Amino acid sequence: MSELQTLAEMTMLDPSKCTFTPTDGGYISLKYEDTTYERIKICRALPYKAPDEYICLLTRDDKEIGILRRLNQLSEENQKHVLNELSKMYYCPTVTKIISVKDRMGYQYYEVITNAGKREFALRDASRNIRYVSPEKRGAVQIRDIDGNRYLIEDFDTFDSQSRKKIEAFLV
Amino acid sequence: MAESLSEYLSRIPEHVREEIASSGIDISQIVAYIYSDMAPDGTFADCWIFFDSQLLYVMTGFDSVEKRNGPKKLKCVYRRKSLERFELSTIKKFETERFIGTARLMAHLEDEKEAPVQIAMFSLGIAGKSERFVKHFADMKEGKPFDAKANEEEELFCPKCGTRYPNPARKVCPKCMNKMSIFSRLLGFFKFYKDKLVLFFAVILLSTLFSVVSPYLGTKLLYDNVLTPGVDANLYGEVGLVMLVIIAARLVSLGFNMWQGYISGGLISYVVYDLKMKIFTAMQKHSMGFYTNKQTGQLMERVNRDTGNIYWFFVDGVPFFIINVLTFIGVLIIMLVMNPILAIIVTVMIPFLLFMFRFIHKSFRKFHHNRWVHQAVLTSHISDSMGGQRVIKAFAKEREESTRFAKYSMNARNADLKLSNAQSTVFPLLGFITIITNLVVLALGGCMIVSGYAGMTFGKLMTFTAYMNMLYSPMDFLSGFSNWWARCVDSAQRIFEIIDADPDVTEAENPVKMDEMQGNIVMENVNFEYEPGRPIIKNLSLSVEAGHMVGIVGKTGAGKSTIVNLMARLYDVVDGKITIDGIDVKNIATKDMRKNIGIVSQEIYLFIGTIADNIRYARPEASMDEVIAAAKAAAAHDFIMKLPDGYETRVGAGGQDLSGGEKQRISIARTIIQNPKILILDEATASMDTETERRIQDSLSELKAGRTTIAIAHRLSTLRDADVLAVINRGEMVEYGTHDELIRKKGEYYNLYKLQFDAVKHIGTAE
Structure confidence by residue, pLDDT tens digits, B71-85: 666 778 888 888 888
Is A82 in the same domain as A142? no
Average pLDDT over all residues of chain B: 81
pLDDT for the residue numbered A21: 92
Is pLDDT at B672 greater than 90 in this prediction? Answer: no
Question: If you write DSSP's letter for every residue of B555-608 in order, what string do you get?
Answer: -TTSSHHHHHHHHTTSS--SEEEEEETTEEGGGB-HHHHHHHEEEE-SS----S
Closest CA to B281 of B489, B490, B500: B500
Using an 8 Å CB-CB cutoff, list chain B residues near A148. 124
For helices B624-633 and B690-703, the axis angle rounded to 10 degrees is 130
Q: How far is CA B651 from CA B612, B642, B719, in A?
A: 10, 15, 31
pLDDT for the residue numbered B19: 85
The residues with which A151 forms a beta bridge, in sequence order, are A143
Percent of chain B residues topping a pLDDT of 90: 3
> Minimal Cα distance from B414: which residue of A?
A172
Which of residues B490 and A94 earns the better pLDDT score? Answer: A94
Q: Total domain count for chain A? A: 2
Boundary residue ending a domain (A38, A67, A89)? A89
Which of residues B189 and B413 earns the better pLDDT score? Answer: B413
Q: Between β-strands B724-729 and B549-554, what pairing exists: parallel, antiparallel or unpaired?
A: parallel
Confirm if A12 and A66 have CB atoms less than 8 A apart: yes
Nearest Cβ partner of B490 from A89, A106, A117? Answer: A106
Superfamily the domain B521-766 falls into? P-loop containing nucleotide triphosphate hydrolases (3.40.50.300)
User: What phi and psi, each to the nearest 5 degrees, are found at residue B622?
Assistant: -60, 140
Nearest Cβ partner of A89 from B43, B100, B369? Answer: B100
B706 in the Ramachandran plot: left (φ > 0), alpha (ψ -120 to 50) or beta? left
The span from the CA of B731 to the CA of A50, in Å, is 39
Contact A172 B411 (CB under 8 A): yes
State the pLDDT confidence band at B767, using cuts at 50, 70 and 90.
very low
Model pLDDT for residues B447-494, shown as the tens digit of each residue: 888 887 777 888 888 888 888 888 888 888 887 787 778 778 777 877
Residue range B288-304: mean pLDDT, rounded: 63
pLDDT for the residue numbered B319: 80
Is A83 in the same domain as A113? no
Is A144 in the same domain as A105? yes
Residue range B614-642: mean pLDDT, rounded: 87
pLDDT for the residue numbered B1: 42
Long-range (24+ apart) CB contacts under 8 A made by B658-662 are B658/B606, B660/B604, B660/B687, B661/B687, B661/B688, B661/B689, B661/B692, B662/B636
Question: If you write DSSP's letter for every residue of B447-467 in order, what string do you get?
Answer: HHHHHTGGG--HHHHHHHHHH
Model pLDDT for residues B552-603, shown as the tens digit of each residue: 988 877 888 889 889 988 888 888 889 999 899 888 888 888 888 888 887 7
Secondary structure of B468-529 in the HEC alphabet?
A: HHHHHHHHHHHHHHHHHHHHHHHHHHHHHHHHHCCCCCCCCCCCECCCCCCCCEEEEEEEEE
Residue range A43-56: mean pLDDT, rounded: 86
CA angle B274, B277, B283 (to 5 degrees): 140
Confirm if B219 and B474 have CB atoms less than 8 A apart: no
Is A83 in the same domain as A108? no
Is pLDDT at B766 greater than 50 in this prediction? Answer: no
The span from the CA of B106 to the CA of B59, in Å, is 16
pLDDT for the residue numbered B417: 92
Is A8 in the same domain as A68? yes
pLDDT for the residue numbered A151: 92
Nearest Cβ partner of A118 from B44, B101, B163? Answer: B44
Using an 8 Å CB-CB cutoff, list chain B residues near A109. 163-164, 174
Percent of chain A residues topping a pLDDT of 90: 20
State the pLDDT confidence band at B233, using cuts at 50, 70 and 90.
low
**What was the ipTM of the complex prediction?**
0.85
The span from the CA of B278 to the CA of B496, in Å, is 9
> Minimal Cα distance from A42: which residue of B?
B99
Give B145's Cβ-side CA count (13 Å radius).
4
The span from the CA of B93 to the CA of B209, in Å, is 77
Q: Which domain holds residue A109?
A: 95-170
Handedness of CA B736, B742, B746, B750 (dihedral sign): positive
Boundary residue ending a domain (A67, A89, A111)? A89
Burial class of B656 by CB neighbour count within 10 A (0 to 12, 13 to 18, 19+): middle
The span from the CA of B168 to the CA of B294, in Å, is 12
The span from the CA of B686 to the CA of B678, in Å, is 20
Interface with B, mutate which of A23, A147, A165 (most B CBs under 10 A) = A147
The residues with which A68 forms a beta bridge, in sequence order, are A55
Using an 8 Å CB-CB cutoff, list chain B residues near A169. 366, 369-370
pLDDT for the residue numbered B298: 59
Nearest Cβ partner of B166 from A23, A105, A149? Answer: A105
SS3 of residue B625 by DSSP? helix
Residue range B504-533: mean pLDDT, rounded: 82
Contact A116 B43 (CB under 8 A): yes
Superfamily the domain B179-500 falls into? ABC transporter type 1, transmembrane domain (1.20.1560.10)
pLDDT for the residue numbered A106: 61
User: What phi and psi, each to the nearest 5 degrees, are found at residue B507?
Assistant: -75, 145
State the pLDDT confidence band at B297, using cuts at 50, 70 and 90.
low
State the pLDDT confidence band at A81, using cuts at 50, 70 and 90.
very high
Interface check for A135 against chain B (CB to CB < 8 A): the answer is no
Interface with A, mutate which of B37, B100, B302 (most A CBs under 10 A) = B100
Nearest Cβ partner of B123 from A25, A127, A147? Answer: A147
Interface check for B75 against chain A (CB to CB < 8 A): the answer is no
Q: How far is CA B301 from CA B182, B279, B295, B586, B668, in A?
A: 20, 12, 10, 32, 31
SS3 of residue B723 by DSSP? coil
Greatest mean pLDDT range, B218-222, B229-233, B689-693:
B689-693
Is A72 in the same domain as A122? no
Q: How far is CA A7 from CA A1, A18, B256, in A?
A: 10, 21, 80
Using an 8 Å CB-CB cutoff, list chain B residues near A24. 114-115, 117
Confirm if A13 and A55 have CB atoms less than 8 A apart: no
Reported residue count of chain B is: 767
State the pLDDT confidence band at B156, using cuts at 50, 70 and 90.
low
Confirm if B624 and B613 have CB atoms less than 8 A apart: no
The answer for residues whose C-beta is within 8 angstroms of residue A143's C-beta and 6 or more apart is A95, A110, A123, A129, A130, A150, A151, A152, A153, A167
Long-range (24+ apart) CB contacts under 8 A made by B302-305 are B302/B494, B302/B495, B302/B498, B303/B276, B303/B279, B305/B491
- Which fold is adopted by the domain B5-151? PH-domain like (2.30.29)
Do B5-151 and B521-766 share a fold?
no
Is pLDDT at B662 greater than 90 in this prediction? Answer: no
Interface check for A114 against chain B (CB to CB < 8 A): the answer is yes
Rg (CA), chain A: 20
pLDDT for the residue numbered A20: 92
> Minimal Cα distance from A39: which residue of B?
B115
Contact B373 A116 (CB under 8 A): no
The span from the CA of B332 to the CA of B347, in Å, is 8
Residues 83-102 of B with CB under 8 A from A: 99-102
Question: If you write DSSP's letter for every residue of B385-450 in order, what string do you get?
Answer: HHHTHHHHHHTT-HHHHHHHHHHHHHHHHHHHHHHHHHHHHHHHHHHHHHHHHHHHHHHHHHHHHH
Is A104 in the same domain as A149? yes
* Residue B125, min C-alpha distance to chain A (Å): 5
Query: What is the C-alpha end-to-end distance of chain B, expressed in Å?
Result: 63
pLDDT for the residue numbered B2: 47
Model pLDDT for residues A148-171, shown as the tens digit of each residue: 888 999 888 889 888 988 888 777
Question: What is the CA B226 to chain-centroid distance, rounded?
Answer: 64
* Residue A118, min C-alpha distance to chain B (Å): 7
pLDDT for the residue numbered B72: 62
Lowest mean pLDDT among B337-346, B490-499, B707-716: B490-499
pLDDT for the residue numbered B681: 87
Contact A105 B116 (CB under 8 A): no
Torsion (CA) B758, B759, B764, B765 in degrees, nearest 10 = 70
> Minimal Cα distance from A27: which residue of B?
B115
Residues 45-104 of A with CB under 8 A from B: 88-93, 104
Boundary residue ending a domain (A69, A89, A109)? A89
Residue range B668-697: mean pLDDT, rounded: 83
Is A76 in the same domain as A111? no
Is pLDDT at B111 greater than 80 in this prediction? Answer: yes
Question: What is the CA B750 to chain-centroid distance, rounded?
Answer: 45
Interface check for B406 against chain A (CB to CB < 8 A): the answer is no
Closest CA to B79 of B65, B66, B61, B67: B61
Annotated domain spans of chain B:
5-151, 179-500, 521-766
Using an 8 Å CB-CB cutoff, list chain A residues near B86. none
Is A10 in the same domain as A85? yes
User: What phi and psi, each to the nearest 5 degrees, are found at residue B680?
Assistant: -110, 120
pLDDT for the residue numbered A80: 92
Interface check for B601 against chain A (CB to CB < 8 A): the answer is no
Interface with B, mutate which of A149, A167, A171 (most B CBs under 10 A) = A149
Is pLDDT at B169 greater than 60 in this prediction? Answer: no
Model pLDDT for residues B720-757, shown as the tens digit of each residue: 778 899 998 888 888 899 888 888 888 888 888 888 87
Closest CA to B11 of B166, B175, B132, B143: B132
Burial class of B112 by CB neighbour count within 10 A (0 to 12, 13 to 18, 19+): exposed
Confirm if B578 and B567 have CB atoms less than 8 A apart: yes
Contact B373 A170 (CB under 8 A): yes
The DSSP secondary-structure symbol of A93 reads P
